[in-house]
Structure 1
Amino acid sequence: MASSFYSNAQHVDFESVLGMDDHGMVSMFEALMAFGLRGFLGCPAVVYEDALVDFFENASVRSGVVISTVGGQLVEISEELFAESFELPVDGLGDLSEMPKEAIFDARSIVSLSSEPINLSGRKNQMKMPFRLLCDIMAKAISVKAGSFNAITVEKFSLITAVICKIKMNWAKFLFGVLKKMVSAGSKQAKGFAIQISLLLATFPSLELGESSEFPESKVLTKKTVLRFVSINDRDGAEEVTGGAKKKAISKKRPAADVGAAVPKKKRSFKKKFVSSMELVEVAEEAIPIQQVAESLDVEEPRCSSADAVDLIIQQVLDETRAADAPADIAQPAVTEEKNWFDLPYDDLVKRWEAERPVVTASDTDEDLANCGCCSC
């Protein structure tokens, strides 16, 4: 069906839209005319559906010329014929990659609905209403892209920039390039230009085009359809803002269970970084109880874990701190009477433990602790 070639198309009735009371819309359409696009966007809205189907089924590109057969007759469309038929400009940029970056930067602020430059990966509702419609025209009638027409793309915005910043474009080269992509094998370019191709085919006198059909009124931009576009976009924009606010409000409420589940359990760890002795003293308050330390001495084959090594470091710092605060305590006579380990004072118990097992120092790294030599850990 030929209708698939213009299901997303857009045509402009310039006489109608230029009579609108909306100054912004009128200025936008006047800019399109000033850049030589009236002949392309506003040509007679007639479609030869049978001929159009034939054209796309048989078309290809040879030596830069679009060649096809329609009703068994050869058709050749060159860039020159294309430019002359629609009175298109042939001077200026032919590739959007050549668009000046400063022009794109300026355009982001010119079209913005707010005081901030628009986001080029955002949606067209960031733009003032005339530029939203211009975005649609560029997507549907110029670049003929399928997909979401609400999304801003670099290509669409570059085309918008050319119009509003008065950048000279070789529209003949650019638009003919789009046509060549439409008929190139393996191309992902959507097929379009239904009215324009119908007009071109009508220039071949010996061609049998069949019956013509009018282009759908809903796809022609007139006073009526532009006002409808404004109404729909205003409504959709309001719904989007309201919907976003509702989602945000809902996200604030979380069940108590979820909050609790999100809190990770505390894990005991030793980070490889420098800490002061005061910080080590505070950690010592959470060290293994003395009774557990003493009981570990009764084990026949004591094993040293990384946590034990940390406790040893902490205890050494504690001892050094006590020695500085109360040196008289260290000068006590050594215990000569053999006592059971559970009868020993805390300090003596620690000394005995230190004599039996090597002690690491606070300068040791995590790698030293992992290879302490006192176990197979």
Structure 2
Amino acid sequence: MEFLGCPAIFHEQALIEFFENGSVRDGMVVSVIGGMAVEISESMFATAFGLPTEGLTDLSEVPKDLLSNGQRLFSASEKVVSVSCLKKEVKMQYRLLSDILAKYLFVKAGSFDAVTRDRFLLMMAITFDVKVNWGSILFGVLKEMVTPDSRQAKGFAIQICVLLKNIPGLELGDSKEFPAPRILNEKTVHRIVSVNENVGVEEVGDAPRAKTTPVKRTVSKKRPASVDADVAPVIKKKRPLKASQSQVETVLKTNRCCP
């Protein structure tokens, strides 16, 4: 089983140390694993995975004409969709593309129901075959992951282990198989499709409630029972009280005194 061209295995302890000790210095990702210093540069990152190093590095440079075309093309209705919108406003295939970018490339924490501006622009660049410097963009994602107090979720587990294996003398320890549900395959894509089919569906519970007609209380027409009627009084049975320990002892002593 492989994930983005990499064996689907990872080294848990090495990853824990990588993120705990990771930081960005002089444009490189640096960390300490097993007491050994580790440095990962952008060129090393791009070369290891054969990523393109030419093209856009700033997504705001996507041509304006493509932006207007994309807003019409992505829209699930006749209305032109906004650059920052909810997934229910775009067509199914672009909901899936947004999820793939969010969960498998950018690995961002939080709600995935919103399509962010940067993700929208990147979706347009992919759709219209605009050249993107994936080496720079994805390495930027990795730098955010190791930046202290960053809200970026820790990801790229398999890819980081591939990079660390290329460092001479570095011991990574035991390896584990990556959880199958986290690997993008036909089954996970079908699951994403089923989830996205329900996005934007109006639930019955959200519909406004119909006004109910107030019901008037009717006074009972039964004649009240006569107070003077000879009705046998109802005698309520008293519930036996539970005797305390002192009461029990008193009764026992009294019984012993009796002839």
Taking structure 2 as the reference length, the TM-score comes to 0.74
| Deviation, structure 1 residue 255 | 8.6
Q: What per-residue deviation string (whole Å, max 9, x for no partner) do you get for residues 345-377 of structure 1?
A: xxxxxxxxxxxxxxxxxxxxxxxxxxxxxxxxx
Aligned twin of 2:67: 104
| Deviation, structure 1 residue 156 | 1.3
Aligned twin of 1:172: 135
Distance in 1 of aligned mates of 2:115 and 2:172: 38
Task: Please tell me the residue identity of whatever aligns with 2:177.
Answer: E
Aligned twin of 2:217: none
| Deviation, structure 1 residue 84 | 0.1
Q: What per-residue deviation string (whole Å, max 9, x for no partner) do you get for residues 147-178 of structure 1?
A: 10111111211111110011111111111111
Distance in 2 of aligned mates of 1:255 and 1:49: 63
Q: What per-residue deviation string (whole Å, max 9, x for no partner) do you get for residues 81-111 of structure 1?
A: 0010011111111122222333222122222
Task: Please give the residue correspondences for 1:133-212 in structure 2 after superposition, counting only pairs within 5 Å.
Answer: 133-212=96-175
Q: Which has the larger radius of gyration?
A: 1
* DSSP-derived class of the 1:75 partner: strand
Instruction: Give the structure with the larger strand fraction.
Output: 2
Task: Please give the residue correspondences for 1:289-300 in structure 2 after superposition, counting only pairs within 5 Å.
Answer: none
| Deviation, structure 1 residue 125 | 2.5
* DSSP-derived class of the 1:159 partner: helix
1:249 matched to 2:208? The reply is yes
Aligned twin of 2:22: 59
Distance in 2 of aligned mates of 1:145 and 1:110: 25
- Residues 255 and 77 (structure 1), Cα distance of their counterparts in 2 relative to 1, 3 Å cut: farther
Aligned twin of 1:117: 80
In structure 1, runs of 5+ residues without a counterpart are: 1-10, 14-40, 257-377
Distance in 1 of aligned mates of 2:5 and 2:96: 16
- Equivalent pair of 2:96/2:196 in contact (CA under 8 Å): no
- Equivalent pair of 1:12/1:221 in contact (CA under 8 Å): no
* DSSP-derived class of the 1:221 partner: coil
Aligned twin of 1:82: 45
Distance in 1 of aligned mates of 2:119 and 2:212: 41
- Residues 49 and 207 (structure 1), Cα distance of their counterparts in 2 relative to 1, 3 Å cut: same
Q: What per-residue deviation string (whole Å, max 9, x for no partner) do you get for residues 237-270 of structure 1?
A: 3xx5331x653432x64999xxxxxxxxxxxxxx
- Poorly superposed stretches of 4+, deviation over 6 Å: none
Distance in 2 of aligned mates of 1:168 and 1:143: 18
| Count of residue correspondences | 214
| Deviation, structure 1 residue 208 | 0.8
- Equivalent pair of 2:55/2:133 in contact (CA under 8 Å): yes
Aligned twin of 1:37: none
Instruction: Give the structure with the larger helix fraction.
Output: 1
Q: What per-residue deviation string (whole Å, max 9, x for no partner) do you get for residues 172-205 of structure 1?
A: 1111111112222333332221111111011113
Distance in 2 of aligned mates of 1:255 and 1:101: 56
- Residues 232 and 177 (structure 1), Cα distance of their counterparts in 2 relative to 1, 3 Å cut: closer
- Residues 169 and 77 (structure 1), Cα distance of their counterparts in 2 relative to 1, 3 Å cut: same
Distance in 2 of aligned mates of 1:146 and 1:52: 18
Distance in 2 of aligned mates of 1:255 and 1:122: 40
Distance in 1 of aligned mates of 2:104 and 2:118: 13
| Deviation, structure 1 residue 210 | 0.9
CA RMSD of aligned residues (A): 2.4
1:128 matched to 2:91? The reply is yes
Distance in 2 of aligned mates of 1:66 and 1:221: 26
In structure 2, runs of 5+ residues without a counterpart are: 215-259
Q: What per-residue deviation string (whole Å, max 9, x for no partner) do you get for residues 99-134 of structure 1?
A: 233322212222233333323443212333222111
Aligned twin of 1:370: none
| Deviation, structure 1 residue 220 | 1.3
| Deviation, structure 1 residue 136 | 0.9
Task: Please give the residue correspondences for 1:263-282 in structure 2 after superposition, counting only pairs within 5 Å.
Answer: none
- Equivalent pair of 1:12/1:222 in contact (CA under 8 Å): no
- Equivalent pair of 1:182/1:189 in contact (CA under 8 Å): yes
Taking structure 1 as the reference length, the TM-score comes to 0.52
Aligned twin of 1:340: none
- Residues 74 and 148 (structure 1), Cα distance of their counterparts in 2 relative to 1, 3 Å cut: same
Q: Which of 194, 218, 239 in structure 1 is aligned with 2:181?
A: 218
- Residues 101 and 145 (structure 1), Cα distance of their counterparts in 2 relative to 1, 3 Å cut: farther
Q: What per-residue deviation string (whole Å, max 9, x for no partner) do you get for residues 273-318 of structure 1?
A: xxxxxxxxxxxxxxxxxxxxxxxxxxxxxxxxxxxxxxxxxxxxxx
